[in-house]
Amino acid sequence: MKIRLEQLTKKFPNRNKKQGEFVIAVNNFNFEIPDGKLIGLLGPSGCGKSTALNLISGLEKPTEGKIFFGDDDVTNLPPENRGVGMVFQNYALYPHLTVQQNIMFPLQNLKGKDKLSKEEMQRRALEAAKLVQIDMLMERKPSELSGGQQQRVAIARALVKMPRVLLLDEPLSNLDARLRLQTREEIRRIQKATKITTIFVTHDQDEAMSISDMIVVMKDGVVHQIGKPQEVYDHPTNLFVATFLGTPSINVFRGRVQDGQLAIGGENVLSVPGVPNRDVICAIRPEGFLLDEKGPFTLGLERMEVMGRDTSVVCTHEDGVSEVIRAIVRTDSVVDEEKETVRFTLIPSKVHLFDPETEEDLPFMA
């Protein structure tokens, strides 16, 4: 099911009237989610992503704008008639019911011509349970399950009624790190298997990047960028998106473009043709630094951090906006830690320039 949002806005009355009449949780959303894709709604805490999800589910009514499922306008449809399955952050399993009863609960609500026989319900519940691999736990109560298992039950319950859209609100935040990795693969697998359009909300960019077909980056109720994870990572439209995506996060410097040369701290570090002479904010991905004894960019050497897979060179720079500069280099790189400075060459595609005022991207020919 394709989902289209048109000028979707949600305002909440502000409790502290001094800060304005309304808090705008979702501000003028206009985008389309293609059918059968997994979409990550990504943003820092309090940016309105859960509100956006609640609007799509119908649990919240929009202040303005429209929501379409396919060609149906569902804006005024109550949540129960939208055919959405939702997994809540705390799973919201019925604690007094067994796994099987939990999964069957939505089916037992079907009335009239959709009414199912008991055998049919049990068959469908088992099918959903098998999909999320909890079919051997059907007689347990939620309190007898681990967090990951509860999560699966919640997904099975959302899937069993074959929803048109599956919504996941911070589905992984209650799991430990290892389980999180495992479960996100699981969500990806289930989504691929069912081909149900799925939207999930997360503040964890790793999570969103790794499994989404498309990510929507938002902040303060405003969508900043929509696109394939790699595209958004490689071509952030503004400074916020650039800093929000990627771990370790992008390194930000104050710089100046003069005669097609990017200067940071008096050194011409990169040639950036096509940008007029001006002050810029320059953001460089950690993997954009190449160790080079004759490189143009000199940084103060702080220490080396060994991570196993690769090595971080932790540096400082007087024009750095970020407190420390982190460059990721290969583990076999040789850096003389006795020295006070280290020199790099930059990879042009990993360098992004932004307007210091608007923080919008300034493209240059690499």
Chain residues binding other proteins by CB under 8 A are 57-59, 79-82, 84-86, 88, 90, 92, 94-97, 105-106, 108-110, 143, 157, 161
CA distance 280 to 355: 5
User: CB-wise, 10 or 157, nearer to other proteins?
Assistant: 157
SS3 label, residue 139: coil
Task: Rank residues 98 and 316 by Cβ distance to other proteins and give the closer one.
Answer: 98
Shortest distance in whole angstroms from residue 326 CB to other proteins: 39
SS3 assignment, position 148: helix
**Nearer residue to other proteins within complex by CB, 22 or 105:** 105
Nearest residue (CB) to other proteins, 58 versus 288: 58
- Name the strand (E) or helix (H) holding 44: none
Kindly state the smallest distance separating residue 275's Cβ from other proteins, in Å: 50
Q: Give min distance, CB of 109 to other proteins, in A.
A: 5
Rounded to the nearest whole angstrom, what is the least distance from the CB of residue 33 to other proteins in the complex? 18
Question: CB under 8 Å to 121, separation ≥6 — which residues?
Answer: 104, 107, 108
> Strands 38-42, 197-202: parallel, antiparallel or unpaired by DSSP?
parallel
160 versus 264: smaller Cβ distance to other proteins? 160
Residue with Cβ nearer other proteins (161 or 317): 161
Minimum CB–partner distance for residue 278 and other proteins (Å):
50
Structural contact between residues 346 and 325, judged by C-beta atoms closer than 8 angstroms: no
What one-character-per-residue DSSP string does 202-248 give?
ES-HHHHHHH-SEEEEEETTEEEEEE-HHHHHHS-SBHHHHHHSSSS
**Nearest alpha carbon to residue 313 among 297, 241, 268:** 297
Residue among 59 and 304 whose Cβ is closer to other proteins = 59
* Torsion sign over Cα 192, 193, 199, 205: negative
Angle, in degrees to the nearest 10, between helices 118-131 and 99-108: 120
- Tell me how far, at minimum, the Cβ of 57 lies from other proteins, in Å: 6
Strand order through the sheet with 165-169: 84-87, 165-169, 197-202, 38-42, 214-219, 222-227
Least gap, CB of 159 to other proteins (angstroms): 12
Segment (H or E) for 337: none
* CB 212, min distance to other proteins, A: 23
Residue written as tokens 């959303």? 29
Which of 19, 81 has the CB closer to other proteins? 81
CA distance 85 to 106: 10
